[in-house]
Amino acid sequence: MKSKAKVVIVGGGVVGVSALYHLAKKGWSDVVLVERKELTSGSTWHAAGLLPLFNMSYSVGQLHKYAVDLYKTLEEETGKNVGFSVVSNIRLASTKDRMDEYHQYAGVAQTIGVDVKFLTPDQVKEIWPLCNTSDLVGAIQHPEDGYIQPADLTQALATGARNRGAEIYRNTNVVGIKQIKNGWVVETDKGSIECEHVMSCSGNFARQTGKMVGLEIPVIPVEHQYIVTEPHPEIQKRKKEGLPEMGVLRDSDSRWYMREEAGGLILGPYEDGAPCCYVDGPSKDSEYELFQEDLDRLAPHIEGAIHRVPAFGEVGVKKVYNGAICYTPDGNPIVGPAWGLKNFWINEGHSFGITAAGGAGWQLAEWIVDGEPTIDMLGVEPRRYGDYCSKSYLKEKNEEAYRNVFIIHYPDEEREAARPLRTAPCYDRMKKLGAVFGQKFGWERPNFFCYRWHGTKRRLVF
């Protein structure tokens, strides 16, 4: 193991390995990654591998777009197949409001150069004959996205990084991080490494890594499940006839994703009541971990899925995966410099980490090597958080972020959970005057006044 390096990355999930790859690609070959167990043994190995381009945030949208483009080139570069199936992704709309949201999104997509098509219910039926389209208003399609094999992707990125001189130390645990003049010392159970920069990519361990340097990194994972069925004769028949995969289907109003898997189907719902997990961090031996499934919680979404795709209910359930998926209070990852600490970089809180890993690594490499990112990173900026994110606040907020994945995102959306957290002395007076509050950095601030509602029970939160 080296005793000196320019950058030490903590954590060998897809996110950390992608950051290593991009630093090496940018010409910094003296970079190392430290992983406590095996690469991908955290959340990466069991991910469903979807690469959704859809995102309302300009920052996240660009990270995703970059990643989808990059992943297509990795096999040629590294000789490793990453199992990228470009099968397209269709998002359904059952209401006019939902369709309006898609139209608003189309503006974001156009700005950042993502290809989006609008489909009629009949066009959906053509591509997805097993989908019941009778009650749909319409849909959008991303022809360029699909799904990938997360572990193969991570290994390909690792190969790309190693080929450029980067080193990866597996079965090595980071136990302490100390600031010194001009940099850091990363202490592991196999020795110390002195470096200029440290990047935290520790997934479900984010808060534990943060504590080593006195940071409250606001990440607590939530349980997420997906169901895998046995093969369905109809899908097997399509395969035999040489027809293309129907692609990824998202029913936003019933809150789930679905895709083909080995002749069967995968269903992943975003339900109410999914609890936070690893609240005090995973156990020190944790690797390749899954939790007990809970289908009861998913019942309304399963019914919705069977209504939409009756075939899904016609075959047996082969396996249910329930694993930890990282969340932050607003649902976006935390990518950039830590607040108050020089040359400490945060790359945590990824809930679509397979998709975001490419872009996050790319921008952090730009930021570290050239001093600034090349796209607007405001939406994922670490400094939107701080010490106000207590554990109890996080638990409520992160569960809210999870159940809100598929809500209609109206402009200037404000969310209700765990509020008020911090109030100014004038808060009560403002409220009496009809203030409708929003939250910034934990503080309640009047967004506007709505005196017509003053005195009534009705709550207005925008």
Partner 1 sequence: MKILVAVKRVIDYNVQIRVKEDGSGVVTDNVKMSTNPPDDNAVEEAVKIKESGKAKEIIAVTVGEEKAQETVRKALAVGADRGILVKAPCTIEPLAVAKILQKIVEKEKPDLVFMGKQAIDDDCNQTGQMLAAILNWPQATFASKIDVKENVLEVTREVDEGLETIEVKIPSIVTCDLRLNEPRYASLPNIMKAKKKPLEQIDASELGIDIKPRIEQIKVEEPPKRKAGIKVSSVEELVQKLKNEAKVI
Which letter, b or e, does each residue of 74-97 get, where b requires 16 or more Cβ atoms within 10 Å of its Cβ? beeebebebbbbbbbbbbbbbeee
Q: Among 204, 229, 363, 398, which residue sits at the site for ligand FAD (rule: CB under 6 A)? A: 204
DSSP-assigned letters across all residues of 62-128: HHHHHHHHHHTTHHHHHS-----B---EEEEESSHHHHHHHHHHHHHHHHHT---EEE-HHHHHHH-
At closest approach, how far in Å is the CB of 135 from ligand FAD?
A: 26
353 binds, among partner 1, ligand FAD, none (CB under 5 to 8 A by kind): ligand FAD
The window from 182-190, 277-285, 375-383, 390-398 that contacts partner 1 (CB under 8 A) reads 277-285
Per CB under 8 A, 318 contacts partner 1? yes
200 binds, among ligand FAD, partner 1, none (CB under 5 to 8 A by kind): none
Per CB under 6 A, 67 contacts ligand FAD? no
Q: Among 38, 293, 396, 413, which residue sits at the site for partner 1 (rule: CB under 8 A)? A: 293
- Are 72 and 279 in contact by the 8 Å Cβ rule? The answer is no
- Are 216 and 207 in contact by the 8 Å Cβ rule? The answer is yes
Other C-beta atoms closer than 10 Å to the C-beta of 256 total 26
Per CB under 6 A, 433 contacts ligand FAD? no
Per CB under 8 A, 280 contacts partner 1? no
Number of residues that bind partner 1 (CB under 8 A): 26
Q: Among 17, 127, 131, 302, which residue sits at the site for partner 1 (rule: CB under 8 A)? A: 302
The single-letter DSSP state of residue 432 is H
- Are 333 and 357 in contact by the 8 Å Cβ rule? The answer is no
Q: Among 143, 231, 434, 446, which residue sits at the site for ligand FAD (rule: CB under 6 A)? A: 446
At closest approach, how far in Å is the CB of 295 from partner 1?
A: 6
Per CB under 8 A, 229 contacts partner 1? yes
Per CB under 8 A, 285 contacts partner 1? yes
Is the backbone peptide bond immediately before 420 cis, with ω within 30 degrees of 0?
yes
The mark string for 285-324 relative to ligand FAD (x by CB under 6 A, - otherwise) is ------------------------------------x-xx
Per CB under 6 A, 245 contacts ligand FAD? no
The window from 40-48, 135-143, 307-315, 402-410 that contacts ligand FAD (CB under 6 A) reads 40-48
d(CA 377, CA 100): 26
Per CB under 8 A, 291 contacts partner 1? yes
Q: Among 71, 128, 205, 385, which residue sits at the site for ligand FAD (rule: CB under 6 A)? A: 205
- CA angle, 268 then 384 then 46, to 5°: 25
At closest approach, how far in Å is the CB of 313 from partner 1?
A: 5
Beta bridge partners of 251: 92, 256
Whichever of 377 and 435 has its CB closer to ligand FAD, that residue is 435
Question: Residue 283 contacts by C-beta under 8 Å, 6 or more apart in sequence?
Answer: none
